[in-house]
């Protein structure tokens, strides 16, 4: 009995002695849900931030496990940046609730939804139901695959970082401008490389690529998944094969976390080539940052189009 009172008294003491942390001056602890956001945060924040992603680039960002070790990372976060558009709805909310970090709670001043200023595609209009599969009611969350959105994300992060440490505002602003410039220069190069193949018809596994396709002129005519989040079915696969033959589609883009069995058998039937396309930084070892992601993916697509000789 007495020990219980003692424990509670100790608890109260702890509560009194550790108010929300005079967090030591040092780099800001930025936690992001994906490696793409971490990469952009590093570009903008330089050595004033320490950015870390919860998910890995070769992992399906819809299905991340809400591990308690992530609670520890969120507990120390000075800023949480999420992709938003319900991409993380299956795992982020309980982590945030358990984080004991009041500032990153919904509506808190240290939470940034990177999608708010981005160009979002496929926002459903009209009635939506789950008969359509696991649709995202707020639009397609794979918007970072357009470098223009990368710049918008950088701008939003700059605004947030500057609000958190106003003393470094000019540092962030200068780094953000430099990043935008490098992305713009690279984008000219990517668009030019892709120019001869504009309008190439492709099939993708999941609806991860609408922004990428729009920016670089690919025409997505179908998906290996019959509906978002629903694994391939034999009848849908047959229809897709026929459609691909009819339209002479020679490219199948597959995210690295999906099984390549069905795409491979479709490829055998149609003579198409399966591209394992990482949609995120870290999806392959050499994809170390946001610009390298497009370098890698564009090279993959262009080489495949050349090989297939198809348009």
Partner 1 sequence: MRSRDVRRVVLAVFVTFVSAPLWAQSTDPPAPPEQTPAEQTPPEQTPPSPPPSPEPPAAPPPTEVPPGAAGAGGPSGPLPTYGPASSKVFNPDIAVIGDFLGAIGKNNSDRATPSLELHEAEASFQAIVDPYARADFFLTFSPDEVGVEEGFITFTSLPANFLVKVGKMRASFGKANQMHNHVLPWTDRPLVTQDLVGGEEGISDAGVSVSRLFPNEILFLEATAEVYRGESPELFRAPTRGDLTYVGRLRGYRDLTESTNLDFGGSFAQGHNDAGPSFKTRLWGADLAFRYRPLRRAIYRRLILRTEAVWSRKELEGGVVNAFGAYVSGEYQFARRWFGGVRLDRSDRADRPDRQDQGLSALLTYWPSEFSQVRGQYRYTKYANGIKANELLCQLLFSIGAHGAHTF
Residues 6+ apart with CB under 8 A from 40: 150, 153, 154, 157, 179, 290
Residue closer to partner 1, measured from CB, 142 or 152? 152
Least distance in angstroms from the C-beta of 107 to partner 1: 6
Task: Report d(CA 270, CA 8) in Å as an integer.
Answer: 69
Residue 11 CB, shortest distance to partner 1, in Å, is: 7
The Cα 118–Cα 139 span in angstroms is: 11
Q: What is the dihedral of CA 308, 194, 178, 142, to 10 degrees?
A: -70
* HEC profile of 59-83: CCCCCCCCCHHHHHHHHCCCEEEEC
Of 73, 74, 76, 83, the C-alpha closest to 114 is 83
Q: At what angle do helices 147-164 and 35-45 cross, to 10 degrees?
A: 60
Task: Name the minimum Å distance from CB 83 to partner 1.
Answer: 15
CB of 245 to partner 1, least distance (A): 27
Closer residue to partner 1, CB minimum distance, 138 or 308: 138
Residue 23 is classified by DSSP as P
Name the residue nearer to partner 1 (CB basis): 185 or 239: 185
Considering the complex, state which of residue 81 and residue 251 has its C-beta at the smaller distance from partner 1: 81
Please state the closest distance from residue 95 (CB atom) to partner 1, in A. Answer: 9
Residue closer to partner 1 by CB (options 50, 103) is 103
Query: Least Å distance between CB 112 and partner 1?
Result: 8
Question: Nearest approach, Cβ of 252 to partner 1 (angstroms)?
Answer: 18
Measured from the CB atom, is 45 or 147 closer to partner 1? 147
Whose CA is closest to 290, among 190, 219, 203? 190
How many residues are recorded in the chain? 311
Identity of the residue, 217 or 221, whose beta carbon is nearer to partner 1 in the bound complex: 217
Task: State the DSSP string of 195-244.
Answer: GGGTTEEEEESSS--HHHHHHHTEEEEEESSSBTTBPP-HHHHHHHHHHH
């Amino acid at each position: 009995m007495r020990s219980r009172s003692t424990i509670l008294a100790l608890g109260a003491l702890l509560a009194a002695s550790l108010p929300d942390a005079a967090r030591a001056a040092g780099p800001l602890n930025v936690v992001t849900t994906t490696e793409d956001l971490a990469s952009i945060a590093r570009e903008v924040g330089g050595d004033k931030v320490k950015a870390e992603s919860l998910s890995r680039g070769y992992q399906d960002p819809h299905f991340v496990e809400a591990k308690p070790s992530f609670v520890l990372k969120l507990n120390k976060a000075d800023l949480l940046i999420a992709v938003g558009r319900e991409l993380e709805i299956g795992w982020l909310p309980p982590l945030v609730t358990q984080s004991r970090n009041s500032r990153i709670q919904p509506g808190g001043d240290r939470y940034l939804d990177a999608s708010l200023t981005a160009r979002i595609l496929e926002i459903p209009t009209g009635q939506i139901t789950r008969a359509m599969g696991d649709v995202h009611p707020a639009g397609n969350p794979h918007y970072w695959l357009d470098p223009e959105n990368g710049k918008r994300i950088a701008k939003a992060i700059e605004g947030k970082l500057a609000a958190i440490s106003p003393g470094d505002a000019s540092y962030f602003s200068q780094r953000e401008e430099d990043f935008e410039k490098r992305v713009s220069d690279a984008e000219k190069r990517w668009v030019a490389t892709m120019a001869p193949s504009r309008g190439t018809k492709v099939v993708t596994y999941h609806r991860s690529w609408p922004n990428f396709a729009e920016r670089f002129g690919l025409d997505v005519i179908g998906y290996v998944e019959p509906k978002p989040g629903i694994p391939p079915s034999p009848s849908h696969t047959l229809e897709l094969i026929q459609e691909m033959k009819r339209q002479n589609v020679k490219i199948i883009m597959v995210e690295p976390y999906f099984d390549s069995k069905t795409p491979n058998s479709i490829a055998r039937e149609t003579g198409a080539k399966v591209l394992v396309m990482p949609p995120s930084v870290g999806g392959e070892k050499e994809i170390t940052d946001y610009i390298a992601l497009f370098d890698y993916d564009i090279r993959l697509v262009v080489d495949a189009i050349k090989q297939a000789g198809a348009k």
